[in-house]
Amino acid sequence: MSRVDDRKIAVVLVSGGLDSATALALARQRGFNCYALTLDYGQRHRLELQAAHRVASALGAIEHRTVSLDLSQFGGSALTDPLVPVPSQPTGGIPVTYVPARNTIFLSVALGWAETLDAKDIFIGVNAVDYSGYPDCRPEYITAFEKLANLATRTGVEEGGIRIHAPLINLRKAEIISRGVALGVNYGLTLSCYQPDERGVPCRICDACRLRAKGFQEAGLRDPANTRIAEQAPL
């Protein structure tokens, strides 16, 4: 990776999944001191919080914080409401795994931490190519949030502005994986599944599992998480 510049600070949203791990690696490659931020939002797949810690540590985050903000109080998503099943087949339109306003909430929290760190850069691993169809993963959304950030903050008004980086947004999953592997990302540390069992074994039928499997297949690579699962190693 490129040499880190002490003057460059970025907040990176890290979920514990494949995309956010790659975004963190890319931020490091670009010379940023990275502060990793994870949101404990009441997600049913809570093992991803452990995965986020592993990823942040392995990829050299200066600090990793997990902020609790329980969106399960509102429900409205298969990821936060146990009464809403995760679909086993692709669905039309915006799927039930969409969490209302999730990325807006996540980016807002990241924005607050960035201001206290004097950071002008925020990285998020959203993707609008091989993805589930969430409206807050689209390029126009990122552009709009960056505009909001620069209207609503001291950094935006007085200190040159905030930049929201979405380096994966126009990449296919296979391209994301290939770039991450080239940067030394250990995808065996990540967890993508929406409903893993207590050992972290993925369901292999949810959108996240299908997209991950498709990405590794198209990249011509073996998913290292599958090796770990086959060996029954704990997360």
pTM of the model: 0.92
Is the pLDDT assigned to residue 89 strictly greater than 90? no
Strands of the 33-40 sheet, one edge to the other? 63-68, 33-40, 9-13, 121-123, 163-165
Domains and their CATH numbers in the chain: 9-230 (3.40.50.620)
Describe the crossing of helices 102-117 and 139-152 by its angle, rounded to 10 degrees.
40
**Location of structure tokens 């990122």:** 142
Residue 202, amino acid = P
CA distances from 230 to 131, 214, 227 (A): 27, 19, 5
Q: Are 183 and 25 in contact (CB under 8 A)?
A: yes
Both structure tokens of 95: 């799927």
How high is the pLDDT of residue 166? 98
pLDDT for position 85: 82
Q: Which residue has the tokens 């990829």?
A: 59
Higher pLDDT, 129 or 28: 28
Enter the tokens of residue 55.
Answer: 């990823």
pLDDT of residue 84: 82
Q: What rounded mean pLDDT belongs to the chain?
A: 91
Report d(CA 173, CA 190) in Å as an integer.
15
Q: Nearest to residue 112, comparing CAs of 60, 149, 140, 164?
A: 149
Tell me which DSSP letter residue 138 carries: S
DSSP E strands, 58-172: 63-68, 121-123, 163-165
The answer on pLDDT for 83 being more than 80 is: no
pLDDT at 212 over 70: yes
Mean pLDDT, residues 29-38: 97
Residue 10 has pLDDT above 90, yes or no: yes
Report the pLDDT averaged over residues 78-100. Answer: 82
Average pLDDT over residues 89-111: 89
Residues 6+ away with beta carbon under 8 Å from 10 = 27, 32, 33, 34, 35, 114, 119, 121, 122, 123, 165
Report the length, in residues, of the chain: 235
Please report the pLDDT score of residue 7 as a whole number: 74
